């Protein structure tokens, strides 16, 4: 990120810090990234309200707390502290537009494989303007990777750990080199799991289905949101279960979902074109509803949106980036 693109502030260990002052010694990070955990969170601008609404902030921070607990970090940064920090950071950076927020927790001190008590927990939060792709006509062509998704016998797939994403990078790189846009991954049993950084849904014969949590997927907040929208607002038949590879080929529709992916239609899987078009009718309905809910133009599920308190504040319009790596 160049000097022209970076925000004025980030948040580090209980205080707002100017970007140029946010430094740490190289040796502090020699081993820190191995155990780091993080969240990718979006804030959506509502021009009518002159406000940014952070989508499902409570759920994201509960998952971050679970991830920190699983990698044995201490509880010195509880969810209420991080929530206040996220809102304060967005106000300080005063974006008049959509924003991507990433809290990351890491440990310093001790030896590479030192005992838990030797390490100190740290948290920083960054933000950047990032335009939503919801409402745009775009899709991805996917291919199944030869790299298998991590499972409970090796790494904890249900939490957002930095180390887990090396598995995702391998799959994504392989897919692009093979001529696809991105990847889908199977687990050790040969069942469908997810994409490199997003969950996946399929539609066939009017039924919406997705791999269940025991398939080795992230406990995705966007996935949970899609399930609730499909059941409660659209009245769709929804299944969470194991999914075979050939079911993906025979699907009428498919889409990725996640904080970065939002709802992204899939056009083809291993060169099998999906039959309902891109986006298919169910994907389009879900995407339209999701867009209204995250931005606050649809008033339902008000508990999903946290206003950060920008109304009445002098704001800056920053040039947005569209690529979100996580």
Q: How far is CA 298 from CA 13, 96, 131, 259, in A?
A: 35, 20, 19, 19
Residue 191: active-site member = no
Say which residues have a Cβ less than 8 Å from residue 301's Cβ, sequence separation at least 6.
228, 293
The DSSP secondary-structure symbol of 185 reads -
Phi-psi region of 70 (alpha: psi -120 to 50; beta: other; left: phi over 0): alpha
Q: Which one is catalytic: 42, 63, 119, 160?
A: 160
The DSSP secondary-structure symbol of 50 reads T
**Beta bridge mates, 144:** 184
CB 252 within 8 A of CB 214: no
Q: Report how far residue 238's alpha carbon sits from residue 44's, in angstroms, rounded to the nearest whole number.
A: 27
State whether residue 301 is helix, strand or coil: coil
Question: Among 44, 89, 38, which residue's Cα sits nearest to residue 63?
Answer: 38
The DSSP secondary-structure symbol of 149 reads P
**Beta bridge mates, 249:** none
Count the Cβ atoms, other than its own, within 10 Å of residue 179.
9
Q: Which helix (H) or strand (E) holds 43?
A: strand 41-46
Catalytic residue set: 160
């Amino acid at each position: 990120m160049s000097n022209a693109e970076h925000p004025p502030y980030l948040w580090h260990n209980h205080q707002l810090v100017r970007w140029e002052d946010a430094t740490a010694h190289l040796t502090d990070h020699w081993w820190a990234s191995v155990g780091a955990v993080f969240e990718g969170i979006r804030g959506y601008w509502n021009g009518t309200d002159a406000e940014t609404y952070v989508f499902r902030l409570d759920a994201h921070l509960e998952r971050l707390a679970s991830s920190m607990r699983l990698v044995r970090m201490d509880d010195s940064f509880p969810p209420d502290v991080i929530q206040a920090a996220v809102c304060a950071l967005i106000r300080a950076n005063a974006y008049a537009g959509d924003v991507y927020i990433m809290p990351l927790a890491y440990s310093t001190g001790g030896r590479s494989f030192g005992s838990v008590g030797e390490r100190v927990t740290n948290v920083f939060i960054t933000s950047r303007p990032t335009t939503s792709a919801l409402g745009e006509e775009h899709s991805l062509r996917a291919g199944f990777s030869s790299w298998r998704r991590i499972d409970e016998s090796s790494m904890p797939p249900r939490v957002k750990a930095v180390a887990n994403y090396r598995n995702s990078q391998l799959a994504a790189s392989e897919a692009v080199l093979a001529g696809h846009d991105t990847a889908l991954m199977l687990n050790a049993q040969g069942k469908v799991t997810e994409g490199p950084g997003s969950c996946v849904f399929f539609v066939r014969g009017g039924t919406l289905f997705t791999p269940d949590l025991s398939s080795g997927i992230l406990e995705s907040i966007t996935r949970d949101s899609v399930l609730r929208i499909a059941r409660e607002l659209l009245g769709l038949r929804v299944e969470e279960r194991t999914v075979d590879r050939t079911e993906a080929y025979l699907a009428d529709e498919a889409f990725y979902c996640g904080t970065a992916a939002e709802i992204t239609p899939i056009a083809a899987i291993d060169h099998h074109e999906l039959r309902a078009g891109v986006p298919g009718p169910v994907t389009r309905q879900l995407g339209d509803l999701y867009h209204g809910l995250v931005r606050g133009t649809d008033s339902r599920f008000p508990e999903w949106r946290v206003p950060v308190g920008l109304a009445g504040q002098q704001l800056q319009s920053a040039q947005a980036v569209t690529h979100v790596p996580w």
